[in-house]
């Protein structure tokens, strides 16, 4: 499970972002990865599959880019008080499912979508107040606001899909597969230089 958490401030409030539904497939199939690794047996199929998932999650975590469609929940202790927008930490944004909050009576409410505009073009994406709208007051409690949203590309052939990040996944899996002995040294925890360079070029600066 990927968790993004900010103990400092995000629009003047604590926030966290947790994946709610993982993607249903990986950007690189096991069979394709096995060809890359020059593996012609099935003995390590489960291991390779887990390494693909690990590499993909690492790439997503470091770039804040969701490769294939997943659902996230972002929680805030309250709505922003000095800005008229909320920045979502994961790109690309596909849709906002709902915004829920505990009102001043500590009753869970669903905020009507007419109150905000979803900016999925920006990276990172934003939710901005509609004209003449204001953020509602919330009860004083942790995670008083929940934003559920969908991020990621529908497939690796979708327009805009960052294919270079697949190259980073290949390099990371190759590194993990070649260094899977019981005793691992510090270098096994480091990303291959090529993968790190690709990741650095795709990092989205956000909160």
pLDDT digits (tens, 9 = 90+) for 32-53: 999 999 999 999 999 999 999 9
Q: Over range 15-21, report the average pLDDT.
A: 93
| Angstrom distance (rounded) from CA 146 to CA 115 | 15
Provide the H-helix boundaries in the chain: 30-37, 45-63, 163-178, 193-202
Contact 73, 20 (CB under 8 A): yes
Read off the pLDDT of residues 71-105 as tens digits, 9 standing for 90 and up.
999 999 999 988 999 999 999 999 999 999 999 99
The contacts found for 191-196 with CB under 8 angstroms, 24 or more apart, are 191/58, 194/167, 194/168, 195/59, 195/167, 195/168, 195/171
């Amino acid at each position: 499970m990927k968790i993004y958490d900010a103990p400092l401030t995000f629009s003047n409030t604590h926030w966290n972002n947790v994946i709610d539904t993982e993607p249903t497939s990986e950007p690189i199939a096991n069979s394709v990865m096995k060809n890359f690794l020059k593996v012609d047996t099935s003995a390590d199929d489960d291991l390779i599959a887990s390494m693909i998932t690990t590499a993909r999650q690492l790439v997503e975590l470091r770039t804040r880019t969701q490769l294939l469609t997943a659902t996230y929940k972002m929680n805030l202790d309250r709505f922003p008080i000095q800005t008229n927008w909320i920045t979502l930490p994961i790109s690309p944004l596909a849709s906002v499912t709902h915004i829920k909050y505990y009102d001043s009576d500590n009753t869970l409410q669903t905020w009507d979508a007419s109150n905000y505009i979803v900016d999925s073009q920006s990276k990172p994406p934003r939710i901005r107040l509609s004209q003449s709208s204001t953020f509602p007051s919330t009860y004083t409690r942790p995670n008083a606001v929940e934003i559920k949203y969908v991020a990621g590309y529908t497939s690796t052939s979708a327009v805009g899909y960052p294919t270079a990040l697949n190259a980073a996944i290949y390099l990371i899996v190759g590194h993990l597969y070649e260094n899977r002995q019981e005793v691992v040294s510090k270098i096994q925890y480091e990303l291959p230089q090529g993968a790190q360079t690709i990741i650095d070029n795709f990092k989205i600066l956000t909160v």
